[in-house]
A and B are shown apart, each in its own frame.
Chain A
């Protein structure tokens, strides 16, 4: 079985002089589910963006190891699926068009049936050809899930995973996290206590605010 591993060492992020977190170190192995929590402004979303490779850390390092080899920073997007409230899709296209474009840009060999299957799983099949701008916030969240699993990623990063979702949507997320590939990693950033069930381990970013922190 292929093994993915996330290693974070002494990670620090500052915005100008404001420290977000410091000396953050942890490891996540294949099959593990990790929850990141903390107060508003504790840096949960910032950490998720850093782990997704779309934001630079101030110091320290993080790396994804796959089959004993380090994944280059510019290739991280290939193994990541990200869902977050601040992720915005192209609303001038339909859900189907968004996913088809993403598949083409990612150079995936996915046919229309596979995209339809994913949309059906996300509960969007009947509205798949409507423009995303006509969707409710919950439906947009579902499209984000569909786009996050389109390329069968090794790492799933979920920031506030159940925001905007109804009960059916939350069930969909429960099922997705439970059935996510056993050789993959799930990192969930949340301050909703009901979302803590997704993780086997919880890291509180409020503990990494100053130089005396662990």
Chain B
């Protein structure tokens, strides 16, 4: 775990200096949220649509930034040195932690912007929403990290990332939209118990499977 932490620390320090992912993510969030804001203008939209739009922005912001963690290592040629100083499991966990922190940071900004700019995006049941937010971020970070590792070895990295990520993340996003809708309507947490269980299962399966297959993806 200590090794994974220092890989996270390396990526974090590197990101502070180079801004590989952060700038792309912040720009995407600003453009996406302002486009939605201007296109809706004063139009009254069904409250449920906001839940969908929130997670759509989260999904695409993840697509625009989270692949950098592996792609930048591959493009700069530093993959080899990383392989020589740490074992694959530490590398995966370190990269996953970095993506998780990045995702929490950027999604908190998205949620904050939605709450300020869209009056109809009001959460009535915070417990459900926060649980979905936390479990959703873990799931998206886990899936995005392993997919980033796969596409970093490919020639067409940019195009491949959303194509591979979409089917993997779709069930997660659908669950998150359901829970967010329920949280906006103020329904009790017991109403979305099944969806929350699916989220927990998804996170466990995705992270376990990723740790198991990462060694094969990383070598060669």
With contact pairs A88-B76, A107-B3 given, residues A54 and B83 touching in the complex (Cβ less than 8 Å): yes
Q: Which residue on B lies nearest to A77, using beta carbons?
A: B84
Bound: A102/B88 CA distance, A:
15
Q: Which residue on B lies nearest to A89, using beta carbons?
A: B81
Selecting from B8-16, B29-37, B102-110, B193-201, the interface stretch reads: B8-16
**Contact indicator A90/B87 (Cβ below 8 Å):** no
**Contact indicator B84/A90 (Cβ below 8 Å):** no
Asked whether A147 is an interface residue with its Cβ less than 8 Å from the other chain, the reply is yes
**Contact indicator B84/A93 (Cβ below 8 Å):** no
Bound: A101/B3 CA distance, A:
10
CB contacts (< 8 Å) of A101 on chain B: these are 6, 9-10, 13
Asked whether A74 is an interface residue with its Cβ less than 8 Å from the other chain, the reply is yes
Asked whether B44 is an interface residue with its Cβ less than 8 Å from the other chain, the reply is no
Q: How far is the CB of B61 from chain A (nearest CB, A)?
A: 24
With contact pairs A55-B219, A101-B6 given, residues A88 and B85 touching in the complex (Cβ less than 8 Å): no
Q: Which residue on B lies nearest to A104, using beta carbons?
A: B6
Selecting from A79-87, A167-175, A178-186, the interface stretch reads: A79-87
CB contacts (< 8 Å) of B7 on chain A: these are 105
CB contacts (< 8 Å) of B3 on chain A: these are 105-107
**Contact indicator A54/B86 (Cβ below 8 Å):** no
Q: Which residue on A lies nearest to B82, using beta carbons?
A: A105
**Contact indicator B77/A74 (Cβ below 8 Å):** no
Partner of A77, one of B9, B14, B83: B83
**Contact indicator B81/A147 (Cβ below 8 Å):** yes
In chain A, positions 57-106 with a C-beta closer than 8 Å to chain B are: 74-75, 77, 80, 82, 84, 86-93, 101-102, 104-106
**Contact indicator A74/B87 (Cβ below 8 Å):** yes
**Contact indicator B87/A56 (Cβ below 8 Å):** no
Q: How far is the CB of B12 from chain A (nearest CB, A)?
A: 11
Interface majority SS on A: helix, strand, loop or mixed? loop
Bound: A89/B14 CA distance, A:
12
B interface residues, tally (CB under 8 Å)? 26
Asked whether B80 is an interface residue with its Cβ less than 8 Å from the other chain, the reply is yes
Q: Which residue on A lies nearest to B220, using beta carbons?
A: A56
> Interface 1/0s, chain A 36-49, versus B by CB < 8 A?
00000000000001
Q: How far is the CB of B70 from chain A (nearest CB, A)?
A: 15
With contact pairs A77-B84, A88-B78 given, residues A55 and B220 touching in the complex (Cβ less than 8 Å): yes
Asked whether A52 is an interface residue with its Cβ less than 8 Å from the other chain, the reply is yes
**Contact indicator A88/B77 (Cβ below 8 Å):** yes
Partner of A89, one of B6, B9, B78, B89: B78
**Contact indicator B84/A92 (Cβ below 8 Å):** no
Q: How far is the CB of A80 from chain B (nearest CB, A)?
A: 7
Bound: A93/B87 CA distance, A:
22
With contact pairs A105-B86, A106-B86 given, residues A86 and B10 touching in the complex (Cβ less than 8 Å): no
Q: Which residue on A lies nearest to B18, using beta carbons?
A: A92
CB contacts (< 8 Å) of B76 on chain A: these are 88, 91
CB contacts (< 8 Å) of A88 on chain B: these are 76-78, 80-81
Would you mind naming 14 contact pairs between A and B with Cβ atoms under 8 Å apart? Answer: A54-B80, A54-B84, A74-B89, A77-B85, A77-B86, A77-B87, A87-B81, A88-B76, A88-B78, A90-B14, A90-B81, A102-B85, A105-B7, A105-B10
Interface residues, chain B, CB within 8 Å of chain A?
A: 2-3, 6-7, 9-10, 13-14, 17-18, 76-78, 80-81, 83-90, 215, 219-220
List 7 other contacts, CB 8 Å, given A54-B84, A90-B81, A106-B85.
A52-B84, A82-B84, A87-B80, A88-B77, A90-B78, A92-B17, A105-B10
